[in-house]
Amino acid sequence: MDAITLLRNDHKTVEALFKRFEKAGDAAYVEKREIVDRIIEELSVHAAIEEQIFYPAARSLVPATEDLTLESLEEHHIVKWVLSELEGLDPKAERFDAKVTVLIENVRHHVEEEQTDFFPKVRDALSRNALGDLGDAMAEAKKTAPTHPHPRSPDAPPANGVVGAIAGVVDRVSDNVSGVAQGGLAAGQDLVARIMGSKKPKTSPTGSSLARGTAKATRTAANAAGRGTVATVRTAKSGAASTAGAARTGTKATATAARKAVGTAATAAKKASTTTARTAKASAVKTKTSAKSAVSKTAAAAKR
Ligand SMILES: [Fe+2]
Ligand SMILES: [Fe+2]
């Protein structure tokens, strides 16, 4: 499927969900929650594949779309914030319907601009093959794209490809969606392989020169981010090692101090018990003596 047909189909899916929400009764809280959850997932995936593949490709291949790309990223940014607020909002909350209404207005405006201005420019400038390759790449990216909004994450290359791939995996694990392992992003695999310290898998991209170029750019971006991650892992490892060293030294010192303290306490206890024993003996002797004298005194008094 070509890129523009794929994106227009996504728009139709979301519009159908918007219509369902608008028809739902005011008190249909369960239904409204379910519709909004689907809107969140559809729009998160759609925004991710546009940001990871369509916008960067359009921007570099069709210079006339430069401003449209930047405006689109800003519109996506606002939409993702609203989506992230809706994720945690009770459908019974007084602002829930208002927030969804504003979301729908924003998305409809954005979709209108893409379909009447942005997409035609891309369709006019690119060959059918190129549009097909872009469509294939986006269909593949959909399998691992984030299913939740990440408004704080980078939305432009090179960082968004890698962060998006990781966010997608994390989202899908938390959604309990199987098939993460089948994910088609070689870039993500490269990154994971790097972190695990194994050799980079040798995958040779196929397809048109556009597809190969996109794959190469993604790979380069992933490698750059991977190096950062590896450096972070190394720093963390050496930090952990020195912390462990310090902890061992600390433990040793504590143990020595504890042994010393135990020794001192034992000595003091021995001394104390010796003193107590001596005192006890002395007082026993005294008691015996005074008892004897009392007995002899009593006997003398009895004799008298
Ligand atoms: Fe968009
Ligand atoms: Fe779109």
Q: Domain residue spans in the chain?
A: 3-178
Question: What are the phi and psi torsion angles at 201 (to 5°)?
Answer: -65, 140
Ligand 1 center to residue 269 CA distance, Å?
80
Ligand 2 center to residue 44 CA distance, Å?
11
Ligand 1 center to residue 47 CA distance, Å?
6
User: Does this model's pTM top 0.75?
Assistant: no
pLDDT at 51: 95
User: Cα separation of 122 and 58, whole Å?
Assistant: 6
pLDDT at 116: 98
Residue with the two structure tokens 């005074």: 290
Ligand 1 center to residue 76 CA distance, Å?
6
Q: How many CA atoms lie within 13 A of 105 on its CB side?
A: 6
Ligand 2 center to residue 180 CA distance, Å?
24
pLDDT at 303: 65
Ligand 1 center to residue 221 CA distance, Å?
22
Ligand 1 center to residue 139 CA distance, Å?
16
Residues with CB in 5 Å of ion ligand 2: 114
Q: Nearest bound ligand to CA 4? A: 2
Ligand 2 center to residue 301 CA distance, Å?
123
Residues with CB in 5 Å of ion ligand 1: 50
Predicted confidence pLDDT, tens digits, the chain (304 residues): 999 999 999 999 999 999 999 999 999 999 999 999 999 999 999 999 999 999 999 999 999 999 999 999 999 999 999 999 999 999 999 999 999 999 999 999 999 999 999 999 999 999 999 999 999 999 999 999 999 999 988 888 887 876 677 677 667 766 643 333 333 344 433 333 433 333 333 444 455 666 566 565 655 555 555 444 444 444 455 555 555 555 565 556 656 565 666 565 566 656 666 655 676 666 666 766 666 776 676 666 666 5
